[in-house]
Chains A and B, each alone.
Chain A
């Protein structure tokens, strides 16, 4: 199956700093990438959808200036959490899909802890 990687797998940062998370599709071209966050014992909540070369579409309630998404190539999307606060601590997961495909393949997730 398709492989999606995320980096880093874990990150601890201080409040007020910014953190960048990378999502890569390793063996296919991802025309669309999705970013989710997941709180403990809860389901995945979609944050934003990004298409290669265009601006991301954010879900209602997600601050686009706080969660910066860049999808500059068909194999890489980045999520930058700016001016992080402890309430941003969560598990962030990306997924990727290719043109015309219905299946989304998920990365292994990034555990962000803001102290």
Chain B
């Protein structure tokens, strides 16, 4: 089945540093979504990407939908302690009448003050 390879699995960075994570797949996706999940909570949507090549920002977050439609990256600039959490990429394809999300395995981000 379809799979997303998300890397890195975990990151330990100093406050103020920039962060980059990415997802790749052997399959093409129509939409890429990036979520953040705090412990014991549901994922919160950060950025949605709809077109190949699209670059979208949300505050300190920037994400891009790869030209091949098989990859996406998320950058966080000037990290702060509240950025700590697990970041998931998710690809959306349409099978039948509705779309199903395929999730990456997550990137756990730790920020040292």
Residues of A at the B interface (CB closer than 8 Å) are 1, 4, 6, 32, 34, 42-44, 46, 49, 51, 91, 93, 95, 97, 102-109, 111
Docked complex Cα distance between A104 and B31 (Å): 11
Nearest-CB distance from A105 to chain B (Å)? 6
Q: Which residues on the B side are within 8 Å of A104 (C-beta)?
A: 33, 45, 101
Contact with A along B27-43 (1 / 0, CB 8 A): 00011010100001111
Interface size class of chain B, counting residues whose CB lies under 8 Å from the partner chain: 20 to 34
Q: Which B residues are closer than 8 A to A by beta carbons?
A: 30-31, 33, 35, 40-45, 48, 50, 88, 92, 97-101, 103-106
Which chain A residue shows the least CB distance to B35? A106
Q: List residues of chain B with CB within 8 A of the CB of A93.
A: 42-43
List residues of chain A with CB within 8 A of the CB of B100. Answer: 34, 46, 49
